[in-house]
Structure 1
């Protein structure tokens, strides 16, 4: 009966996938090529990896006439947002190159690189750059180089980052030489990772080869700001002046942000006055930063005043400005005022973005508790909105902490059905809660879903499952997970924190049961 039940599940799954494939194909042919990006993305995300090649499936659901630059860019953008397995995204990009009418764009290359390097698959990322260099060298843009350098600086050593910088120089189109722009990318790669020792070393080593600009100095200033060192920011700012560089609006924005984040809001206002005196007019970003600063200082009256003065400065508030003011209200505990701002955004035709929802959820968790969170959560789901990873993790942790496991599991299913592959931290939280409340079957189901999408389990999640499945004598499930993990290890780069499966001794024991 177990065998028949499993067969029935496989038939149902196959039928559902076939129905989805036929539905998408029908839409392509019957709707004048008004394709459904979401469904195509879901097919790619759900495709079993690495069990089956993905190209035949893509050829089945995507007619050749549908392949265009905007189509490929949209699919890749959504694959990035849903945390797709990078290899499948790369395969989709290569699939699109087969069609003579398709002209790849730098945006498509950049998005593919983003997806590959985020999962630390640098071998495939370099393969992509090598291929594009041979066929479309002009598409190797500053942004694509920045993506490579920033990820390598984050995950690899200082020496490897410099080697990558030199390697990228050979990938430039003929006749183009490395200049200040490329030098700035290398500095930014270290500065955004708060590796100021490395950034200063690179600056001193390559200063004579390149000609630094105000932008170069702003990148270093930003690095000191990200490190949270106000003194270093001011010291480097004065060094910048001594070297003859004229501060611009970006320079002032960095300094204002540094003061505001340290709670020194009045110093930020002083800098605003200073920049206006030298005819360096503030931008919307400048004012938004000050609204944030007023919120950190818990001066909501000043935050609202600055916000209301935007029209006088001939600036229109965007979602970022509203989110800044909303954060100020949440910090002071005024959830009602923050809620009114959400309504005001709708009245002004401004969409609630992931920051809006994250800010409101944070405030509701501290004040209204589960009821307020569930009300906003249902509103978000009704709009088919999928938040970004920090909000997903926050909601999953909140539901599990409040023992609302039905909501947590339902949220998981909503993400999966939306074509989203949840972050491993969110999965760690959910699996631990499910297992601790005797819901190992659901925990196992979630794990299989992730592995089938080509994403590895974290070591923490696997160990929790291993412990609970062993207690319930579900050795078959444990062996299945182990086999799927081992198979993925042959196709994906090794990464610290990923599950490595059960040990050989445990395997022998489980097999003998």
Structure 2
């Protein structure tokens, strides 16, 4: 792969006044962690004597990134850091990405990172188009679907339709049921019932013209409504269109899943009996959906009854089935049953995975048994089962409840040493914990860690951090974070804008307010109308 360079021109010089992490913040963080490690009276110190060292030592192991991973990190950071929409992105891509570098794995990985880092959808689209125009290799289905997902998540529906039409002309093989599902799901989420039906019609007559729409396409439409828990609309669509599209067990499971996600167990069971009366035979997915519904309500006995029924009718439980029941046992505070189900996994010719461990860890934390949860983390390490986002989220939640800031700092420090970037919900949870407990330096540390890793932190995290900073009159740092969000092509909430406006005026920082308003106005000009309603 070609050498990737780093742009050290005008952008770096312009940001030099506020981008670097202040040395005081770094020193505060190091000092705090050092002090916390010396607090012998804390619960986490007791744990460290018995259980924690092996986990933290394992967490300290940081594998050296491969050259490809390093280049993916670099390009993702360049794209996210590029001032947008002040300057076009394509010239920057031309400077940093030789055409020979545009292999399918590279393109897919960069788009995956852009999706995970909440990049602006137009930036992802520019990169995808660049990869098409400057590579001799055809784009992959995965790259196209990721680009479509990023666009629709930011409600760039016009651009998403244009992309689908373009692919129909140039690469029709990229148009799949999944791409249809991505589009319809986001339209169902952000637009009206009528808009979703109209989009389905447009898919049939324009995007997938010449393809006979049948049960699979109908299932995609139903899933769009069910995934948003819009069961009234889903039922309406089913009643209007099932005579045109033959239904199958998958159709019924989609509707059953919708009732389950809506939290109405009674409605789910009524529909289940309706589908049986219609002659549909329940399969493993049917049982898993019903078991999950009961487990989330704390009705472990009903879930176990369904497990016995599965075995009686020779419908073998899957790892997902057992994992769901372990989680359900935790909700019911029945740790012996959770442990029994967990230990029985190998006896069922199944193998433990991160999901099964996460369910057991969650059950232990619900019962306030942090020691046993840490033991399972050690066991995962021994079995070379990597911690995922759920593992970290579950453990952070447990540490917050059971060992406070000390345990959270220990785990946070080791997570960042492993260069692991948590999911949005974990970032928001950590930011809220840091800011509400007067540890703003840790909130800033988390923010800078994400930005330096090429991520664009979610607006909820910005809301929490700016509110905390402004309450302590740390307006310069709050301003820096706002600028970083805007430069990456993401908007701030109206609440944060008015907070910054009020404080910058009060302290006669009119030049900063003018720059903030200029960037907001510029960004507003390219945001879709539907997205402007929720952000300033």
TM-score in same-fold range (> 0.5): yes
Q: Give me the whole-angstrom Cα distance separating, in 1, the residues matched to 2:364 and 2:267.
A: 31
Contact 2:501/2:513 (8 A) holds in 1: yes
Cα–Cα, structure 1 residues 55 and 8, in superposed 2: closer, same or farther, change >3 Å? Answer: closer
| Moved segments of 4+, more than 6 Å | 31-35
Q: Give me the whole-angstrom Cα distance separating, in 1, the residues matched to 2:283 and 2:249.
A: 8
Q: Give me the whole-angstrom Cα distance separating, in 1, the residues matched to 2:207 and 2:417.
A: 47
1:68 equivalent to 2:72? Answer no
Q: Give me the whole-angstrom Cα distance separating, in 2, the residues matched to 1:481 and 1:181.
A: 48
| 1:386 matched residue in structure 2 | 421
- In the TM superposition, 1:120-139 aligns within 5 A as 120-139=155-174
Contact 1:400/1:433 (8 A) holds in 2: yes
Q: Give me the whole-angstrom Cα distance separating, in 1, the residues matched to 2:11 and 2:302.
A: 69
> How far does residue 463 in structure 1 lie from its aligned partner after superposition?
1.1
SS at match of 2:407: helix
Q: Give me the whole-angstrom Cα distance separating, in 2, the residues matched to 1:272 and 1:32.
A: 47
Contact 1:456/1:498 (8 A) holds in 2: no
> How far does residue 148 in structure 1 lie from its aligned partner after superposition?
0.3
SS at match of 1:328: helix
Q: Give me the whole-angstrom Cα distance separating, in 1, the residues matched to 2:357 and 2:81.
A: 37
1:292 equivalent to 2:327? Answer yes
- In the TM superposition, 1:120-269 aligns within 5 A as 120-171=155-206, 175-269=210-304
| 1:272 matched residue in structure 2 | 307
| 1:341 matched residue in structure 2 | 376
Q: 2:460 aligns with which of 425, 432, 438?
A: 425
Contact 2:99/2:135 (8 A) holds in 1: no
SS at match of 1:392: helix
**Superimposed CA distance per residue, residues 311-351 of structure 1 (whole angstroms, 9 cap, x where no aligned partner):** 11000010000000000001111111111111111111011
Contact 2:180/2:203 (8 A) holds in 1: yes
> How far does residue 32 in structure 1 lie from its aligned partner after superposition?
9.0
| 2:125 matched residue in structure 1 | 90
> How far does residue 479 in structure 1 lie from its aligned partner after superposition?
1.1
Q: TM-score, normalised by structure 2?
A: 0.87
> How far does residue 97 in structure 1 lie from its aligned partner after superposition?
1.1
Q: Give me the whole-angstrom Cα distance separating, in 2, the residues matched to 1:67 and 1:197.
A: 46
**Superimposed CA distance per residue, residues 230-252 of structure 1 (whole angstroms, 9 cap, x where no aligned partner):** 11111111110110100000000
Q: Give me the whole-angstrom Cα distance separating, in 2, the residues matched to 1:402 and 1:375.
A: 16
Aligned length: 481
Contact 1:221/1:236 (8 A) holds in 2: yes
Q: Give me the whole-angstrom Cα distance separating, in 1, the residues matched to 2:405 and 2:67.
A: 46
- In the TM superposition, 1:356-505 aligns within 5 A as 356-494=391-529, 495-496=531-532, 498-500=534-536
Q: Give me the whole-angstrom Cα distance separating, in 2, the residues matched to 1:48 and 1:191.
A: 38
| 1:10 matched residue in structure 2 | 14
1:282 equivalent to 2:321? Answer no
> How far does residue 467 in structure 1 lie from its aligned partner after superposition?
1.5
**Superimposed CA distance per residue, residues 101-154 of structure 1 (whole angstroms, 9 cap, x where no aligned partner):** 120111111000110011111111111111101111121111110000000000
Cα–Cα, structure 1 residues 467 and 33, in superposed 2: closer, same or farther, change >3 Å? Answer: closer
**Superimposed CA distance per residue, residues 461-505 of structure 1 (whole angstroms, 9 cap, x where no aligned partner):** 1111112112111111111101100000111113255444xxxxx
Q: Give me the whole-angstrom Cα distance separating, in 1, the residues matched to 2:291 and 2:112.
A: 33
| 1:510 matched residue in structure 2 | none
Structure 1 unaligned spans of 5+: 1-5, 17-30, 501-513
Q: RMSD in angstroms over aligned alpha carbons?
A: 1.9
Q: Give me the whole-angstrom Cα distance separating, in 2, the residues matched to 1:75 and 1:125.
A: 19
Cα–Cα, structure 1 residues 220 and 334, in superposed 2: closer, same or farther, change >3 Å? Answer: same
Structure 2 unaligned spans of 5+: 1-9, 21-65
1:39 equivalent to 2:74? Answer yes
> How far does residue 170 in structure 1 lie from its aligned partner after superposition?
2.7
Q: Give me the whole-angstrom Cα distance separating, in 2, the residues matched to 1:482 and 1:105.
A: 40
Cα–Cα, structure 1 residues 141 and 403, in superposed 2: closer, same or farther, change >3 Å? Answer: same
Q: Give me the whole-angstrom Cα distance separating, in 2, the residues matched to 1:294 and 1:130.
A: 49
> How far does residue 376 in structure 1 lie from its aligned partner after superposition?
0.3
Contact 1:329/1:337 (8 A) holds in 2: yes
Q: TM-score, normalised by structure 1?
A: 0.91
> How far does residue 177 in structure 1 lie from its aligned partner after superposition?
1.0
